[in-house]
Amino acid sequence: MVKLMKIYLDCLPCFLKQTVQAGHLVTDDEGLIRNIVNEVAAMIPYLPENSTPPEIGEKIHRRIREITGMNDPYSSVKQQNIEEALLLYPDMKKLVRESSDPLFTAVKVAIAGNIIDFGTGTEFDITTDIHRITNQEPAINDIGLFKESLEKAESILYLGDNAGESVFDRILIEELKKPVTYIVRGIPVLNDVTYEDAVASGLDDSAFEIISSGTTAPGTVLPLCSANFINLFNKADMVISKGQGNYEGLSDVNRPVFFLLKAKCAVIARDIGVCEGDTVVKGINF
């Protein structure tokens, strides 16, 4: 029986904030953005309480696409974030190579990439934030367990989160030294990583395979995923899940999963039991 993390009251204003942000990316016409906000505000009373945030995000971003006729409002910022992250790639590789614990450093680099996020409305500066976070010790640190699982694993499923962050995922994937299947969203939603973004991030060289979870939600909500993905998810020796959206969908799932993320909002921080801004390497069901 899968009990998923539900939306909280605090998520509702945040959905509206995401809407204003997506609106600004789609158009300079304040009147049109106001219309989009109005439409999403009108949805709020009807959002079911037993949904997870990515399920709601799926509905909202679908509505934004319908109203604006734009399939991928975040297209240009995603491209820009990937390009900026690729410029940091050599430095990050060097940091990992010269580290006394390259795998743990690569995990921290991958988590640092998780600052690239438009879903939570926090501002970020990739270059400065990345360096700060790689120096930050995770508030929950199951790296020992992570290493043990990795040693035994023959197949790894790696659930991607945002475009740009995907370049930092690549650094960890290259350090895992096992066959890794990198999972992307089925269609563009928010700034989440799609197949094309994964390829632009160089993951077609690093990962064994890039496969879509089949979902149109900004997170891994199993009932919204393809049968093929669910099968992979159930069979994989090790599952690595990046970011809040995947956590929100999978936090109470009934199999071992490692969550690598930065807690970017009070709701998630409270749910995990850390402070806002903390980073986490958390294994469940071990």
User: Which spans of this chain sit near its own copies (rule: CB under 8 A)?
Assistant: 9-10, 12-14, 16-17, 19-20, 23-24, 30, 33-34, 37-38, 41-42, 44-45, 49
- Minimum distance from residue 266 beta carbon to its own copies (Å): 9
- Minimum distance from residue 239 beta carbon to its own copies (Å): 32
Place of tokens 């801004």: 277
Q: CB-wise, 2 or 44, nearer to its own copies?
A: 44
Q: CB-wise, 14 or 224, nearer to its own copies?
A: 14
Q: CB-wise, 23 or 249, nearer to its own copies?
A: 23
Q: For residue 151, which amino acid is it?
A: E
- Minimum distance from residue 129 beta carbon to its own copies (Å): 17
Q: CB-wise, 49 or 151, nearer to its own copies?
A: 49
Q: CB-wise, 22 or 115, nearer to its own copies?
A: 22
- Minimum distance from residue 3 beta carbon to its own copies (Å): 17
Distance from C-alpha of 144 to C-alpha of 283, rounded to nearest angstrom: 10
- Minimum distance from residue 9 beta carbon to its own copies (Å): 5
β-pair type (238-242, 209-212): unpaired
Distance from C-alpha of 264 to C-alpha of 274, rounded to nearest angstrom: 11
Q: How far is CA 198 from CA 118, 152, 183, in A?
A: 18, 26, 9
Q: For residue 22, which amino acid is it?
A: A
Bridge partner list, 241:
159, 259
Q: CB-wise, 39 or 237, nearer to its own copies?
A: 39
Bridge partner list, 279:
262
Please check whether residue 209 is in contact with residue 228, taking contact to mean a CB–CB distance below 8 angstroms: no
- Minimum distance from residue 49 beta carbon to its own copies (Å): 7
Distance from C-alpha of 201 to C-alpha of 211, rounded to nearest angstrom: 15
- Minimum distance from residue 17 beta carbon to its own copies (Å): 4
Q: CB-wise, 121 or 256, nearer to its own copies?
A: 121
Distance from C-alpha of 217 to C-alpha of 205, rounded to nearest angstrom: 26
- Return the DSSP state at 162: B
Please check whether residue 111 is in contact with residue 281, taking contact to mean a CB–CB distance below 8 angstroms: yes
Q: CB-wise, 33 or 203, nearer to its own copies?
A: 33
- Minimum distance from residue 83 beta carbon to its own copies (Å): 26
Distance from C-alpha of 41 to C-alpha of 66, rounded to nearest angstrom: 15
Percent composition of the chain: helix, strand, coil (DSSP 3-state, to 5): 55, 10, 35
Which residue from 133, 191, 135, 139 is spatially nearest to 160, judged by alpha carbons? 191
